[in-house]
Chains A and B, each alone.
Chain A
Amino acid sequence: MSKLACRIVNLRTRFYDVCEGSQLRRGHQKAAIFREIAGRTLFAAVGTGLDIRLFPPGQDILAIDINPEMLRRAQRRRQDYPGKLEFLLADAQGLPLADASFDTVVTSCTLCSVPDPVRALRQFHRVLKPGGRLLMFEHVRSRNLVLGLALDAMTLWTRIWGTEMNRDTLANVRRAGFHITRIDSIYLDIILAIRAQKPR
């Protein structure tokens, strides 16, 4: 990573909680999909742990992030969680985890920031047990021409800090071998709650 990219990532870490403050609007919708967490769970890209307070209590969760600074900031929130919550410094594109070792994989605005989303989704597919569920709260490119173009334009500068606003995540999920079972619109066709399953 170049020095400039490092600086931008560190700056993003510092302002992450402010930028992701949209929890006020979307928090209860995230909590609704997190309530479906069951069994051993992998949470991909925990960030500064803003989502931890939305996790249902008493679960067994392994949360990963690629950024050690994010994990350091998430520690305080981890201690407040009433359940088993472990942290692991790992890249979603190359998970150091055994095959078929999780019942649920959860992502929350993760796939916009992963350089190769299909590779990451294939990793989630690998670590999930057959019949295991993938729960996603993600923003994607709108199918509407005007909104889609606005998201393309935004990506020109959000890309600087590693966020792609115009990904076709639904197609990527299918490409990785998942079967999509349900899609809920959170905000138009841009922010979606996606439920998928690894075939048995």
Chain B
Amino acid sequence: MRPRRKRWRRLAFALGDCAFLLAIGWLAVAAVQVTQSLPGSALLLSFLGMGLAMLIQMGLSFLLAPLLGSIETMTPSMVVAMFSPMVLEGIEMAGFEFIPSLARYFGALCGALMFGWMAAYAAACQRRFQRTCATHE
């Protein structure tokens, strides 16, 4: 594959990954908000919301797997769907109250942070395996 085409390809997939993680973060928080608006035990509704967030994440990952890759969609989005509502709940328990729309953007921010971390981790993995190769050669 020509280097220029390779670069565009890499950029397109990076944009796809980033948009997907932003959407998952946003939707995960929205799912928790929907369940928390229902009557019942707050703790139970939080767990229900997290379960719903995971279901949404799995469904969207399956849908996008043929385009973005199955492992590439499933693994990071699972972390985002699990952690963004948990982090938000933690912050709210510490006394900081988000307005609902801002909370959803916070979820999207978690997705963006995950994407940034993944890019850094990918570079670290490349370096680690290059070192492994160098020691074998």
Residues on A facing B (Cβ under 8 Å): 18-22, 24-26, 28, 139, 142, 144, 146-147, 150-151, 153-154, 165, 179-185, 187-192
Give bound CA distance, A192 to B74, whole Å: 17
Give bound CA distance, A32 to B108, whole Å: 35
| Contact (Cβ within 8 A) A182 B75 | no
Offer 18 A-B interface pairs, CB within 8 angstroms, sorted by A.
A20-B70, A22-B65, A24-B66, A25-B68, A28-B1, A139-B71, A147-B76, A147-B79, A150-B82, A179-B136, A180-B132, A181-B136, A183-B129, A184-B129, A185-B128, A187-B71, A188-B125, A190-B75
The reply on B69 being an interface residue by CB < 8 A is: yes
| Contact (Cβ within 8 A) B79 A146 | yes
Least CB distance, B55 to chain A, in whole angstroms: 12
Least CB distance, B61 to chain A, in whole angstroms: 10
Query: Contact mask B91-130 → A, CB, 8 Å, 1/0?
Result: 0000000000000000000000000001001100110110
Residues of B within 8 A of A142 (CB): 75
| Contact (Cβ within 8 A) A26 B136 | no
Give bound CA distance, A24 to B128, whole Å: 26
Query: Contact mask B53-94 → A, CB, 8 Å, 1/0?
Result: 000000000000111111110111011001000000000000
The interface centre, meaning the residue of B65, B69, B76, B133 with most chain A CB atoms within 10 A of its CB, is B69
Interface residues of chain A: helix, strand, loop or mixed (majority):
mixed
Least CB distance, B77 to chain A, in whole angstroms: 9
| Contact (Cβ within 8 A) B66 A189 | no
| Contact (Cβ within 8 A) A188 B13 | no
Give bound CA distance, A146 to B121, whole Å: 12
Residues of B within 8 A of A181 (CB): 133, 136-137
Residues on B facing A (Cβ under 8 Å): 1, 13, 65-72, 74-76, 78-79, 82, 118, 121-122, 125-126, 128-129, 132-133, 136-137
| Contact (Cβ within 8 A) A185 B125 | yes
| Contact (Cβ within 8 A) B125 A189 | yes
Give bound CA distance, A187 to B82, whole Å: 21
Give bound CA distance, A10 to B137, whole Å: 44
| Contact (Cβ within 8 A) B66 A21 | yes
Give bound CA distance, A24 to B121, whole Å: 23
Residues of B within 8 A of A153 (CB): 78
Closest residue to B122 on the A side, CB-wise? A188
| Contact (Cβ within 8 A) A21 B72 | no
Residues of B within 8 A of A20 (CB): 70
Residues of B within 8 A of A187 (CB): 69, 71-72, 122
Residues of B within 8 A of A139 (CB): 71
| Contact (Cβ within 8 A) A180 B136 | yes
Least CB distance, A110 to chain B, in whole angstroms: 15
| Contact (Cβ within 8 A) A191 B133 | no
| Contact (Cβ within 8 A) A154 B66 | no
Do A154 and B74 contact each other (CB < 8 Å), given the known contacts A144-B121, A180-B136, A182-B136? yes
The 4 residue pairs across chains A and B that have the minimum distance between CB atoms: A21-B66, A22-B69, A25-B69, A185-B125
Closest residue to B12 on the A side, CB-wise? A25
Residues of A within 8 A of B72 (CB): 22, 25, 187
Give bound CA distance, A188 to B71, whole Å: 11
Give bound CA distance, A21 to B62, whole Å: 11
